[in-house]
Amino acid sequence: MKKKPVTTTWGPTTKAVHAGMHENTSRSVTTPIYQTSTFELQENREGAEFANTIEPSTFYTRWGNPNFAEVESVIAALEGAERALVTSSGMAATATLFETFLQTGDHVIAPAASYLGTELLLKHLIETKNIKVTFIHNTLDMDEWERAASVPTKLLWIETPSNPTLAITDIGKIVQLAQRHHIKTVADNTFASPIHTRPLEWGIDLSMSSATKYLGGHSDVTAGAIAGSDADITACWKVARLTGPTMDPIGAWLLHRGIKTLALRVLRSSASAMALALWLNEHPQVERVDYPGLASHPGHEIAKRQMQDGFGGVLSFQIKGGLEAGARFCESLQMVYRAVSLGGVESLIQHPASMTHIFVDEAVKKTLGITPGLLRFATGIEDIQDIQSDFEQAFRAVL
């Protein structure tokens, strides 16, 4: 199999298809699955050599695997990074980042309305490692970030657009602030995906993703990814080699297969989400729509600057009639799946107030922007008229 050039001039779709096909030593167009935990060593010396190599791909799968190496090259190419690391889930990537860059007593700045798992892990670290966290309530208020950074800070975490409220953070301004204060920055790029936003191009140090979502794209694999400089990813790999948040080779292969259509899927979902947001915005049964593509969204102008070719496939809307209407709408959909997650080919809906956030304190829900009638919709790649007619019958069921 000829070695593929990885050219930075390629567009994202070409990179997704061709970058990283370098571990395939067979003549098959698709790389085989290296479903093995270990690799035969040609000679003793090789064992010693591999044990001292950064992520050898044919030594022991917790160290690396050809399927990891390939998918990591593709992710690095898409994110514009020197190197990437794949993990067994998005949370494994987050935990690896925290374990690598935080020590007892360190200060972290993070949005209050970030992915619930990230928030809970930070709260766990507050209790167990005496980590100090300043949570930002209005991500658009740069004074709030500035005040938070007035104390020595190790890590600044952003998520844009954020889960579940689609809040926007100004990446350029965050980078300026962090560089002034010498703070390492991480962007959770799950919602935007590298098709819409490449945080590293804006000067962010590390981009992490729940690859379970758009990168994988088919709701069939749980995975995480971290992209950044050679030095930072090597540091993460050294921790991961010890703690073992290792993917399964078949999972890495599925992730790689999914990534090949990333641009097609993301652009389709985002275009449909934009059309749905405009339609819902005029709907008599809808109180409010949160979507960064709408001119009414408070982060719209920033999103326009830092997101290209669309605003992502996830939108939130508040149905009139509160908790009961939200729950009934969700239960009345016939084609759209009621399920947590996003970024798959199939549309998913969830009603945080009666599902994921049911046990979250009312006051906390309020600060997170989770109102009783809020529905989070992850647009799939179906024909938009079919999504819309499913919504129409569900709206009728709520009346």
Ligand X SMILES: Cc1ncc(COP(=O)(O)O)c(C=O)c1O
CB of 169 to ligand X, least distance (A): 13
Of 4, 60, 62, 257, catalytic: 62
Q: Which residue is nearest to ligand X (CB)?
A: 90
Residue closer to ligand X by CB (options 106, 188) is 188
Residue closer to ligand X by CB (options 195, 325) is 195
Query: What residue ranges bind ligand X (CB under 6 A)?
Result: 89-91, 115, 117, 159, 163, 188, 190-191, 210, 212, 222, 224
CA distance 203 to 176: 9
Tokens of 270: 């985002």
Residue closer to ligand X by CB (options 157, 237) is 157
Residue closer to ligand X by CB (options 207, 285) is 207
Of 15, 106, 115, 232, catalytic: 115
CB of 163 to ligand X, least distance (A): 4
Q: Is 291 a catalytic residue?
A: no
CA distance 191 to 171: 14
Residue closer to ligand X by CB (options 113, 327) is 113
Residue closer to ligand X by CB (options 348, 394) is 348
CB of 92 to ligand X, least distance (A): 7
CB of 343 to ligand X, least distance (A): 8
Residue closer to ligand X by CB (options 21, 166) is 166
CB of 338 to ligand X, least distance (A): 16
Q: Is 170 a catalytic residue?
A: no
CB of 190 to ligand X, least distance (A): 4
Contacts 24+ apart (CB under 8 A), 264-269: 264/13, 265/214, 265/217, 265/345, 265/381, 266/193, 266/195, 266/196, 266/214, 266/310, 266/312, 266/313, 267/195, 267/309, 267/310, 268/381, 269/214, 269/312, 269/313, 269/343, 269/378, 269/379, 269/380, 269/381
CB of 395 to ligand X, least distance (A): 26
Of 213, 265, 268, 376, catalytic: 213
Q: Is 386 a catalytic residue?
A: no
CA distance 224 to 233: 13
CB of 328 to ligand X, least distance (A): 25
Residue closer to ligand X by CB (options 222, 246) is 222
Q: Is 188 a catalytic residue?
A: yes
Q: Which residues belong to the active site?
A: 62, 115, 188, 213
